[in-house]
Structure formats: C-alpha cells, structure tokens
C-alpha cells in the first residue's frame, strides 16, 4: 500500500478515537475534554514530527516549520478540530491531518522550505457548543470580541469563559494581527455530491457562497374544511405551495450556482379538517455572486408578495442572516490548478456552498480551498465519508500546492 495513503488512514483513525461516539461519529465541542485531549495530542504529535508547536491564548494550535530564506513569509494550512454533535470524522479535522502530513512529507522529501510552513488546528468553527461560529479563525484575525460570547452558555449552563478557563485558555489581550502569513490553503470535504456525481477526486474552490436566510409568515384564516367553499378561503398552505413551487421553478431557470431551500415549515392549526390559517417557513438562499443573490432575493420577495396579495393573505418577511460571498484568491487558485496538473490530479473548478474558516482568512490574506468528494454528499453525520483514495489525492494536491508556495522562488 502507498505509504501516504496508509498515513492518511492511520491518522484519521487515531484522531477520530478522541471524542468518538458509539455510532461511529465524533462529538468534540469547543473546550470540552475531548477537544482538550485532541489539541494536546496534536501538539505532541507536531513536536514529534519536528514542528515548533504553540498555542495562542484562545487555544488555536500552530505547528511551524521555519523557512530558510524567507522565514517571515508563512504559508499556512489547516482547518478546525471541533465537530457538530454526532458529527463525522472528516469535517474539519481532515484538513488539520492533511496539513501536518503534508508538512511532514515535504520536510522528509525536500528538507527545509524557503518560506515558513505552518499547520493550524483551529479551536472552533461549527458553533455547536456555544452560539458563536468561527471562534478560532476570528481570533486569528482579531475579529472575535469578548462581549460577543460573554453571555453565551452551553446546553448544561456552563458559561463560555468558564469552559475556556477550565481548558486552560483565556481571551486575547490584544487584537494584533500576524503580518507574516502570506497564504492560507484549506483542504476540506465537499459536503455535497458534485464531485461524486462528476467522478472527480479533487475540487478547486473559486468562491464561497453568500447566504441569506429568511423566516416568512403567511396569515390567512383557519376555517372548517367541509363547510368553507374554495372561493371563500384564505388558505395559508395554498399560498405557501405557490411560493415554494414558483420560487424553485424560477431558481432552476437561473441555474447554478444559485440554490434556494425551504427547509423548515410549521402550519397552524395543523389539523386534517381545518383550512390552515397560518404558515411559517424558512428560506435559505445562496449564490457566489452577491449582486445576483440580491437580484434573486428581490424577485423572490416580489413573488411572495404577489402570491400573498392574490390569496388575501398577510405576509411578514424577516431576513435574519446575511453573509456576503467570499471569492478565493485568483492567483492562489491558479497555483493550486497548476500544482494539480503537474501532479497529474484531475480536478473540478467549483464553489463552496457551505461556509468555512477560509472565508474569515480571505479578508486578510490570499486564501483558497481544495475539496475532496463526500460519499452521497453526506456530512454533519456519523455516515460522513470519503474513499481513502480520494482523501489521499486531496493530500497530494495540498502537498503539491504547498511545495509551489514554500519551496519555489
């Protein structure tokens, strides 16, 4: 068996055992015992393979290989080690494992790099213990504010600072940013089914989508299902059905990368023989182009208001999440494409439909992402998986990219 492939397999197995659940998944939440064990074991491992391992104040872990010629130019790679509750064994930690395996491979095969190489094991991305996501990367870039998490409590009532202090960490004293980081490359599973469907092993990410999320309430009148003629009704579900079908039909005519999802819905009174008087539902809408996302959601709002008016329903549209799209760095994307080509790795140019640490890094340093396929697109679930062959191809793509960035003039 290929040695790198064996290392990928063994390292995923090893790190997955920390916080591993009966169902075969992982639950490892910010600052909990599994998280502490994982970070500490990673630190030991970084040191073992010859990296200079350090924590920052909040618990982001770094493993550094100093550059010979440009030590103050750091090429960084990594991802997060926290999971959702009953998450899979790849989302996040695969990017950390891939990064230190890449550094180890490069050091063993090519010696000291010209530029410094660093692996980062980010403290937190998922927002699954406390209602705050990107705690790790936002701290790297001085964006995390103490007051944003001070009132946060986990499901057991433990406060953010209590959990943090117990793990041996504390808030950052300064918002100083590192100026040595020149590039950030994150390897991650796709969490979708595009690469699998196209039978590609590597995705080169050009954009992370922007998102808008809404809650909409349609209010009509609850009436007796038998005694209320069709034309006397103000049926909220009928309005809802028109909104969903018309919006999705319209989105389909516009095509990729636009996606729109009606994921949550609640009918009142939700009784077989009562015409529904009220429907509340959510909309999740994403696009890589901020302007097109704006245009679409404007059209969507018009569809909704028109349907509401036609059916004598009152409508309340509430936008509660808005994240701008984040383009990856074009030059860095070109480096990854060239690296893949030279390593004879067939890749697919794509966007990310999910949010990632890279979107935080991208505002400050040239950033790009590499994807590997997700079997059946499953993620945030113990069934989350990728073939070992595809995982290894992803690590090879990362090695080839980091070589170009850190070893070439």
Give the annotated binding-site residues for allantoate.
213, 273, 286
Contact with a second copy (CB under 8 A): which of 211, 297, 359, 367? 211
Q: What is the Cα–Cα distance from 351 to 289, expressed in whole angstroms?
A: 11
Q: How far is the CB of 193 from a second copy (least distance, A)?
A: 6
Contact with a second copy (CB under 8 A): which of 355, 373, 382, 394? 355
The answer to the question of residue 312 lying near a second copy (CB under 8 A) is: no
- Please provide the DSSP assignment of 167-222 as one string: TT----S-----S-EEEEEEEEE--SSHHHHHT-SEEEEEEE-EEEEEEEEEE-B-
Classify the phi-psi angles of 19: left when phi > 0, otherwise alpha if psi is within -120 to 50, otherwise beta.
Answer: left
Contact with a second copy (CB under 8 A): which of 157, 272, 298, 344? 272
**For the CA atoms of 340, 343, 347, 350, what is the dihedral angle to 10 degrees?**
-20
The answer to the question of residue 238 lying near a second copy (CB under 8 A) is: yes
Pairing of strands 181-189, 70-80: parallel
Stretch 357-396 residues interacting with a second copy (CB under 8 A): 374, 377, 379-380
The count of residues in the chain is 409
Contact with a second copy (CB under 8 A): which of 284, 294, 299, 322? 284
Site size toward a second copy (CB under 8 A) is 61
- Here the contacts of 33-38 (C-beta below 8 Å, separation 24 or greater) are 35/81, 35/82, 35/167, 36/167, 36/168, 38/81, 38/93
The answer to the question of residue 23 lying near a second copy (CB under 8 A) is: no
The answer to the question of residue 25 lying near a second copy (CB under 8 A) is: no
Query: Which residue from 102, 93, 75, 103 is spatially nearest to 136, judged by alpha carbons?
Result: 93
Contact with a second copy (CB under 8 A): which of 13, 248, 383, 389? 248
SS3 call for 19: coil
Contact with a second copy (CB under 8 A): which of 160, 240, 296, 403? 240
The answer to the question of residue 298 lying near a second copy (CB under 8 A) is: no
The answer to the question of residue 96 lying near a second copy (CB under 8 A) is: no
The answer to the question of residue 109 lying near a second copy (CB under 8 A) is: no
Please state the separation of Cα 27 from the chain's center in Å.
17
Nearer to a second copy, 157 or 229 (CB): 229
| Tokens found for residue 212 | 């808008």
The answer to the question of residue 125 lying near a second copy (CB under 8 A) is: no
Which residues define the annotated binding site for Zn(2+)?
80, 91, 126, 188, 380
223 CB contacts (<8 Å, ≥6 apart)? 232, 233, 234, 274, 275, 277
Stretch 157-196 residues interacting with a second copy (CB under 8 A): 190-194
Contact with a second copy (CB under 8 A): which of 4, 114, 158, 237? 237
Q: What is the Cα–Cα distance from 13 to 148, expressed in whole angstroms?
A: 35
The answer to the question of residue 267 lying near a second copy (CB under 8 A) is: yes
Nearer to a second copy, 135 or 281 (CB): 281
Q: What is the Cα–Cα distance from 147 to 152, expressed in whole angstroms?
A: 9
The answer to the question of residue 199 lying near a second copy (CB under 8 A) is: no
Segment near a second copy (CB under 8 A), from 70-78, 124-132, 209-217, 289-297? 209-217
Nearer to a second copy, 243 or 398 (CB): 243
| Tokens found for residue 250 | 């319209």
Q: How far is the CB of 275 from a second copy (least distance, A)?
A: 5
Site residues, a second copy (CB under 8 A):
190-194, 197, 209, 211, 213, 223-232, 235, 237-238, 240-245, 248, 251-252, 255-265, 267, 270-276, 282, 284, 286, 352-355, 374, 377, 379-380
């Amino acid at each position: 068996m290929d040695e790198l492939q064996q290392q990928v397999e063994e390292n995923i197995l090893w790190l997955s055992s920390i916080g591993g659940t009966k169902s075969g998944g992982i639950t490892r939440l910010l600052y909990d015992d599994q998280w502490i064990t994982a970070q500490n074991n990673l630190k030991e491992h970084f040191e073992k393979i010859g990296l200079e391992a350090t924590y920052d104040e909040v618990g982001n872990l770094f493993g550094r290989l100093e550059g010979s010629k440009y030590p103050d130019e750091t090429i960084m790679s990594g991802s997060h080690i926290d999971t959702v509750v009953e998450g899979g064994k790849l989302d996040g930690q695969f990017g950390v494992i891939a990064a230190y395996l890449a550094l180890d491979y490069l050091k063993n095969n090519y010696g000291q790099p010209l530029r410094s190489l660093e692996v980062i094991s980010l403290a937190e991305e998922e927002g699954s213990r406390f209602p705050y996501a990107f705690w790790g990367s936002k701290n790297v870039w001085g964006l995390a504010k103490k007051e944003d998490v001070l009132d946060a409590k986990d499901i057991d009532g433990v406060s953010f600072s209590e959990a943090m202090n117990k793990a041996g960490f504390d808030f950052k004293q300064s918002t100083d940013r590192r100026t040595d980081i020149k590039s950030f490359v994150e390897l991650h599973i796709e969490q979708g089914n595009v690469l699998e469907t196209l039978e590609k092993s590597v995705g080169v990410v050009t954009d992370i989508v922007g998102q808008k999320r809404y809650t909409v309430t349609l209010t009509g009148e609850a009436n007796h299902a038998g005694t209320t003629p069709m034309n006397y009704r103000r049926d909220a579900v009928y309005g809802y059905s028109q909104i969903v079908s018309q919006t999705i039909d319209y989105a389909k005519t516009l095509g990729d990368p636009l996606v729109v999802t009606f994921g949550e819905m609640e009918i009142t009174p939700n009784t077989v023989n009562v015409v529904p008087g009220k429907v509340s539902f959510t909309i999740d809408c994403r696009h890589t182009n901020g302007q097109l996302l704006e245009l679409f959601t404007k059209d969507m709002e018009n569809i909704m208001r028109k349907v509401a008016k036609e059916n004598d329903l009152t409508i309340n549209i509430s936008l509660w999440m808005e994240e701008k799209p984040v383009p990856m760095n074009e030059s860095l994307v070109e480096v990854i494409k060239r690296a893949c080509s030279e390593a004879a790795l067939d890749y697919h140019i794509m966007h990310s439909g999910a949010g990632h640490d890279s979107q935080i890094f991208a505002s400050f340093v040239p950033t790009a992402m590499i994807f590997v396929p997700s079997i059946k697109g499953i993620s945030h679930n113990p069934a989350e998986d990728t073939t070992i062959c595809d995982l290894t191809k992803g690590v090879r793509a990362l090695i080839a990219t980091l070589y170009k960035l850190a070893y070439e003039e």
